[in-house]
Amino acid sequence: MSDDAFSLAAEAADRLKARTGFDSFDVALVMGSGWVPAADVLGEPAAEIPVTDLPGFAPPAVEGHAGRIRVVEVGGRRALVFLGRTHLYEGHGADAVAHGVRTALAAGVRAVVLTNAAGGLRPETQQVGDPVLITDHLNLTAATPLVGATFVDMTEAYSARLRALALETDPGLKQGVYAALRGPTYETPAEIRMLRTLGADLVGMSTALETIAARRGLPSGETAEVLAFSLVTNLGAGLSDRHLDHEEVLEAGRAAAHRMGSLLATILPKL
Ligand code: 8IG
């Protein structure tokens, strides 16, 4: 991160306002792979643009990562919905990964909902298709979008206030710690055993760096609270006799779209 990364986000936010015709937003949602169908459940888009219309966004790389930004009014809140995100494994660097969240912050957003598809590490309690509330993370990417001596408190990276709201909405929600790895390989069975020993409940290739960017906030000191969910689309390697593939992720997303979309639609007005 440099002053440049913040100015690029400020430019993207200005362009976003001009292109969508809205000059303020309440909340941002980042829809990861598997979650894009859930976005349709939120309601009719009031505006939608390709991310590549804004400065600083990398073109989308993966099927199911749609690369569009949608504006949806949900229960009196104006949501900025990112359909797809940039991942570290794409090679554009940690600033590119953080750019969506920084753009949302620069556009006035003070609450960010991050969603992802993940491998489940606790077959005892998790099933494919479960949404899981993320309580904390292990950033094992060996990367950060931050540089310089700005020390960020990560004690409550995932807002206790917002997690309580989510649990109020859906008391049956499972909860877990998300381990973020760089990918693009899935893990070996030995790595999955390691992650379980480290205390992770979920493993994926996103979210942690965006959370860091949201908690760091803008140079002005404005930050965003973070709420995050994983959709368990497979069990970690070696925990089941299945092999891992991306089509499975998309299918699990389609199957769970309605449940996840209504969960989000119910929570948004309360944020
Ligand atoms: I979906 O098992 C999904 N994303 N690293 N491991 C990692 N990322 C994932 C996995 C998984 N499943």
Terminal CA-CA length for the chain: 28
3-state DSSP assignment of residue 170: coil
- State residue 124's pLDDT score: 94
Q: What is the pLDDT of residues 126-148, one digit of tens each?
A: 988 889 999 999 999 999 999 99
Residue 1: pLDDT band by 50, 70, 90 thresholds? low
Residue 210 DSSP code: H
**% residues pLDDT > 70 (the chain):** 97
pLDDT in tens, 21-37: 999 999 999 998 788 88
CATH number for the domain that contains residue 60: 3.40.50.1580
pLDDT mean over 114-126: 95
Closest residue by CA, ligand 1 atom 2: 119
Q: Identify the active-site residue in 104, 234, 256, 257.
A: 234
Is there a catalytic annotation at residue 90?
yes
Q: How does the average pLDDT of the chain come out, rounded? A: 92
User: Alpha helix locations (H) across 22-173?
Assistant: 36-40, 94-106, 160-169
Residue of 11, 73, 89, 143 marked catalytic: 89
Domain limits for position 130: 3-270
Active site residue 117: yes
Please report, rounded to a whole number, the percentage of residues in the chain having pLDDT higher than 90: 75
Burial of 196 (0-12, 13-18, 19+ CB in 10 A): middle
When divided into structural domains, the chain yields a total of 1
What is the rounded CA–CA span in Å between residue 135 and residue 178?
8
87 is catalytic: yes
Give the pTM: 0.94
Closest CA to 81 of 34, 27, 24, 132: 27
Identify the residue with better confidence: 156 or 66: 156
Q: What mean pLDDT do residues 142-162 have? A: 96
